[in-house]
């Protein structure tokens, strides 16, 4: 089945850029998402990218997609302490049950 992997932890200083990486296995993924989860809360959609795009920018967020290597990254510019959370990448395939497959999540810690 589909497998989505992420590094578990990232620590940055406030004001620096954060880059969270994700790899996936199924080349038929049509959309890839980034979600943010704060402690004890549900998931908040941050951004998404369609599989035929290489890059998408939305304010402080930049998503890069390397479809050949099946690699997705999320860059957060000028990281703030409020960005501390767990970030999940997820992919969607327009076949089968049409549910999202999530990575293991990356815990981002922003130090003041």
Give the residues lining the site for another protein (CB under 8 A). 30-31, 33, 35, 40-45, 48, 50, 88, 92, 94, 97-105
- Sign of the torsion angle spanned by Cα atoms 65, 87, 35, 56: negative
Task: Give min distance, CB of 7 to another protein, in A.
Answer: 13
Contacts of 23 (CB under 8 A, 6+ apart): 4, 5, 6, 69, 70, 71, 72
Task: Give min distance, CB of 53 to another protein, in A.
Answer: 11
Q: Which CB sits closer to another protein, 24 or 103?
A: 103
Task: Give min distance, CB of 102 to another protein, in A.
Answer: 5
Contacts of 93 (CB under 8 A, 6+ apart): 2, 26, 28, 29, 30, 101
Q: Which CB sits closer to another protein, 100 or 108?
A: 100
- For residue 2, the tally of other CB atoms under 10 A from its CB is 14
- 61 strand-pairing partners: 58, 76
Q: Which CB sits closer to another protein, 17 or 27?
A: 27
Q: Which CB sits closer to another protein, 56 or 75?
A: 56
Task: Give min distance, CB of 20 to another protein, in A.
Answer: 14
């Amino acid at each position: 089945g589909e497998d989505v992997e992420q590094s578990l932890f990232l620590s940055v200083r406030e004001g620096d850029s954060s880059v969270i990486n994700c790899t996936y296995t199924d080349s038929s993924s049509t959309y890839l998402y980034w979600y943010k989860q704060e402690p004890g809360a549900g998931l908040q959609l941050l951004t998404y990218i369609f599989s035929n795009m290489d890059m998408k920018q939305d304010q402080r967020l930049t998503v890069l997609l390397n479809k050949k290597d099946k690699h997705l990254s999320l860059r957060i510019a000028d990281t703030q302490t409020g960005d501390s959370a767990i970030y999940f990448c997820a992919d969607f395939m327009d076949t089968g049950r049409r549910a999202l497959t999530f990575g293991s999540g990356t815990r981002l810690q922003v130090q003041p």
